[in-house]
Amino acid sequence: MRDTTEWLAREVDSWFGDRPFEDGGRVSGSVRLKASWRRGDNVDGGVRLRARVQLPNLKERAYLFFGQDNESDLVTDRQEAFTRERQLLDESRRRDTTGFAGVGYALRERLDLRAGVRSAYKPYIQLRYRQRWAISPRDAVSFRETLFWTSSDGAGSNTSFDYEHAYSPVLLFAWQNSVVITRRDDGAAWSSSLGAFRVFGDQRRLSLELLASGNTSSASVSEYGVRGAWAQPLYRDWVIGELIVGHFWPREHDAVERSRHWAVGGNIELLF
């Protein structure tokens, strides 16, 4: 996969000049095979692909990206903690997943502009801003803002605010928050996670999170739950396996009782 990606990168980079690819060119990405099940849904499986390529002839600020992912998560630039995959929700391959490709350019140190297409012909644009402040040797606050536009849904935004506390070199507590506004929704879709993350060396990590999500158009929380995950290398340092177990209490709207669902998922990720 890496060889194929690098070959493609060299071909595209040669369109823009004679600077050798070794002079600043970089290739990175992953292929993830995933499967999940939530009570009441079918077993869901799929493939996720993400690749990023630095092109020397487009200067160091430009890069190409391509892959396959959930269309809504891709366009809104949703944090990993709140993606449908991490929430162990069923995804229709035809309706939810899409191939994508595009080009990005770093306008400034923390600001970049991305333009791409998904589903082979649907364009989208993202303007992304990232900032992180260290408020103490153990505490940090992060802010992310993504403004996006699609040909079908118009303009929208994703605002994220995170707080992290490093209790020790191997134990981290994090509070993550996201608010997504789109033309499709009457209100703003919000998500929040409070979690503990423990690393054990050699890419082994354990996490436990409390989750909640909803929409400002409704007075109640649409879903809350708990999610635990364990990840470790399966082969050297570039094949990573992960097991995710969750218990969720969703409710479609205020007029119905809240249900409760167990869910389990797993994935194997190949880094390149």
pLDDT, tens digit, 9 for 90 and up, residues 96-136: 889 999 999 999 889 999 999 998 789 999 999 999 999 99
Residues 179, 162 contacting (CB under 8 angstroms)? no
Q: Would you say residue 184 has pLDDT above 90?
A: no
Q: Would you say residue 207 has pLDDT above 80?
A: yes
Give CATH for domain 2-271: 2.40.160.40
Q: How far apart are CA 179 and CA 191, in angstroms?
A: 7
Q: Would you say residue 94 has pLDDT above 60?
A: no
So where are the chain's domains? Answer: 2-271
Q: Would you say residue 24 has pLDDT above 90?
A: no
Q: Which of 132, 134, 81 is nearest to 110 (CA)?
A: 132
Q: Which of 264, 222, 230, 265 is nearest to 247 (CA)?
A: 264
Model confidence, pTM = 0.88
Q: Would you say residue 219 has pLDDT above 80?
A: no
**What phi and psi values does residue 9 have, to the nearest 5 degrees?**
-65, -40
Residues facing 52 on adjacent strands: 28, 65
pLDDT of residue 93: 54
pLDDT of residue 183: 86
Per-residue pLDDT band at 30 (split at 50, 70, 90): very high
Dihedral angle computed from the Cα positions of residues 97, 98, 100 and 105, in that order, rounded to the nearest 10 degrees? -40
Q: How far apart are CA 233 and CA 242, in angstroms?
A: 9
pLDDT of residue 266: 96
Task: For residues 53-58, give the mean pLDDT.
Answer: 86
Handedness of CA 64, 148, 134, 162 (dihedral sign): negative
Q: How far apart are CA 27 and CA 172, in angstroms?
A: 30
pLDDT, tens digit, 9 for 90 and up, residues 247-256: 999 998 777 8
Task: For residues 22-43, give the mean pLDDT.
Answer: 90
Phi/psi class of residue 169: alpha, beta or left (left: φ > 0; alpha: ψ in -120 to 50)? alpha
Q: Which of 38, 36, 32, 71 is nearest to 51 (CA)?
A: 32
56 in helix, strand or coil? helix
**What phi and psi values does residue 252 have, to the nearest 5 degrees?**
-65, -40
Q: Would you say residue 33 has pLDDT above 80?
A: yes
